[in-house]
């Protein structure tokens, strides 16, 4: 009889914990769904902004075409080459951002599944700690990767222009040296 009362007392004591875990699972599922929707919207906005910027750059290039017509062929080719490098860089950057968003969504879904399988509060705490640590490390690595991509594209896009500037400086200095 005392064992039965103890078991009932333990069951009663565990009801709030079970309710909290159930509530936590529901909140996490809601959070994962909202995160996926936000990632999709963010990607769509990034694509729209990229498209808008390309259109603005294209408009600016076409408006300045009359000015470029006075420049020599090599300088124009350098500008076009630089623009192509930037366009490819933006495309690569956008793809990378989308891949990171997709990976984050998959990680969130896997975490949600893992949380649904949690049997104890300790497991939930350990799982959350591991997830937080992993996500932070991934965030740092992804941020570094995106920053490196940006610097690389900027440096590569500047090279054709820099080469033309060097040629122009050489041409201007030639008469002075003679």
CA torsion, ordered 118, 121, 126, 129, to nearest 10 deg:
110
**70 — phi, psi (to 5°)?**
-80, -15
4: left (phi over 0), alpha (psi -120 to 50) or beta: alpha
Does the structure show a pLDDT above 70 at 150? yes
The residue range of the domain holding 60 is 2-177
The structural domain count of the chain equals 1
Q: Which of 31-35, 40-44, 137-141 has the lowest mean pLDDT?
A: 31-35
Closest listed residue to residue 31, CA positions, set 42, 43, 39, 41? 39
H or E element: which one contains 81?
Answer: helix 73-116
Q: What's the pLDDT score for residue 171?
A: 73
Q: Which residues lie below 8 Å from residue 146, measured CB to CB, with a gap of 6+?
A: 93, 96, 97, 100
Whether 86 and 153 have beta carbons less than 8 Å apart is answered as yes
**pLDDT confidence band for 80 (50 / 70 / 90):** confident
Q: What's the pLDDT score for residue 140?
A: 92
Q: Which residues lie below 8 Å from residue 112, measured CB to CB, with a gap of 6+?
A: 28, 29, 32
Residues of the chain with pLDDT > 90: what percent?
10
Span 123-140, pLDDT tens digits: 889 988 999 999 999 989
Maximal C-alpha separation, the chain = 113
Q: How far apart are the first and last CA of the chain?
A: 113
Residue 117 per-residue DSSP state: T
Span 66-78, pLDDT tens digits: 544 555 677 778 8
Positive or negative: CA dihedral 31, 32, 33, 39: positive
In whole angstroms, what is the distance from residue 15 CA to residue 122 CA? 16
**Stretch 112-130: mean pLDDT, rounded?**
89
């Amino acid at each position: 009889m005392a064992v039965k009362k103890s078991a009932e007392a333990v069951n009663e004591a565990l009801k709030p914990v079970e309710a909290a875990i159930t509530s936590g699972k529901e909140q996490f599922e809601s959070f994962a769904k909202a995160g996926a929707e936000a990632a999709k919207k963010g990607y769509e906005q990034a694509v729209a902004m990229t498209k808008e910027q390309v259109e603005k750059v294209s408009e600016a290039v076409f408006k300045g075409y009359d000015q470029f017509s006075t420049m020599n062929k090599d300088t124009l080719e350098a500008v076009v080459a630089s623009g192509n490098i930037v366009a490819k860089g933006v495309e690569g950057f956008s793809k990378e951002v989308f891949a990171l968003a997709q990976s984050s969504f998959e990680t969130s879904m896997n975490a949600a599944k893992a949380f649904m399988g949690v049997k104890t509060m300790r497991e939930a705490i350990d799982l959350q700690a591991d997830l937080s640590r992993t996500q932070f490390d991934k965030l740092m690595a992804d941020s570094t990767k995106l920053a490196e991509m940006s610097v690389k594209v900027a440096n590569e896009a500047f090279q054709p222009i820099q080469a033309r500037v060097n040629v122009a400086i050489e041409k201007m200095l030639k008469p002075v040296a003679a």
